[in-house]
Amino acid sequence: MGHVDKRSITLSPELAASVDDAVAAGEYASASEVIRDALRQWKERRDLFGYSIEELRALIQEGIDSGPGIDGPSFMNDLISKHERTAGGDKS
């Protein structure tokens, strides 16, 4: 494994129990292995789906610039009504 940087972490009782359960079930050889796997998955998810602060700011500004939002339920009701009229032959 090469150089190992030891860390001390604190887990909630629920997380600690989950780690212990995974080791007891034979899914992992040790608690350290569970934590390393969790951190690898976190890093992968962060690398694939993470946004920088600048990207988040740009996305927020894009939303602001797009204009006011539309009420979802009202929009869907209008869309359904239009579809029903169109399906019935009334193109208004």
pLDDT in tens, 6-19: 999 999 999 999 99
Confidence of residue 91 (pLDDT cuts 50, 70, 90): low
pLDDT in tens, 16-40: 999 999 999 999 999 999 999 999 9
Confidence of residue 45 (pLDDT cuts 50, 70, 90): confident
- Cα–Cα dist 15/12, whole Å: 5
pTM: 0.53
The residue ranges of every structural domain in the chain are 13-87
- Cα–Cα dist 34/26, whole Å: 11
By CB atoms closer than 10 A (0-12, 13-18, 19+), residue 28 is middle
The answer to whether residue 90 scores a pLDDT higher than 70 is no
The answer to whether residue 65 scores a pLDDT higher than 90 is yes
